[in-house]
């Protein structure tokens, strides 16, 4: 003899439903013209990749040449240049060295690019401190 049990799942809501629709607080939406502009800062890996690619192209070198000199795979270097991979400091130092740059040079150029891009969107000066002052140090945050 078999018992017939309906195949129904019990659903437990994650958030209890409001008993009355008017119980929810009403928030008037902010019109688009009054919203502050949202600026997405570029990712560090994109900046470093752009600097590596720009330097390689300025030297008129192929991806294969630089990858062989740096002793890293060509597909991996391509991924780093396109900002698809977060390269280790050893890989970045090797790629920079293959281009005749030090790791500090590579990071300083990427930091300069970050300052340039973010100051354009915020309307601020070119660095920290008072507007219009230049910050020549390297700022890296973990």
Q: Which two tokens stand for residue 97?
A: 């060295």
Please report, for residues 27, 31, 38, 77, the alpha-carbon distance to residue 34 in angstroms, rounded to integers and kept in the order given: 15, 6, 12, 43
pLDDT band for position 3 (cuts 50, 70, 90): low
Asked if residue 39 lies in contact with residue 118, where contact means CB atoms within 8 angstroms, the answer is: yes
**Buried/exposed 82-93: b ≥16 CB within 10 Å, e otherwise:** ebebebeeebbb
Report the predicted TM-score, pTM, of the whole model to 2 decimal places.
0.60
At 34-79, the pLDDT tens digits run 776 666 788 999 999 999 999 999 999 999 999 999 999 999 999 9
Asked if residue 8 lies in contact with residue 90, where contact means CB atoms within 8 angstroms, the answer is: no
Backbone angles phi, psi at 7, to 5 degrees: -90, 75
């Amino acid at each position: 003899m078999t018992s017939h049990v309906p195949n129904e799942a019990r659903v437990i809501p994650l958030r209890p439903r409001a008993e009355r629709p008017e119980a929810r607080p009403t928030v008037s939406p902010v019109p688009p013209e009054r919203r502050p502009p949202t600026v997405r800062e570029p990712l560090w890996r994109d900046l470093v990749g752009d600097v590596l690619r720009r330097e390689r192209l300025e030297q008129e070198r192929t991806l294969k040449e630089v990858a062989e000199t740096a002793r890293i795979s060509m597909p991996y270097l391509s991924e780093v240049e396109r900002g698809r991979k977060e390269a280790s400091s050893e890989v970045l130092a090797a790629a920079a060295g293959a281009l005749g740059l030090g790791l500090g040079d590579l990071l300083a150029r990427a930091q300069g690019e970050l300052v340039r891009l973010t100051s354009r969107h915020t309307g601020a000066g070119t660095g920290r401190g008072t507007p219009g002052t230049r910050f020549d140090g390297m700022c890296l945050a973990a």
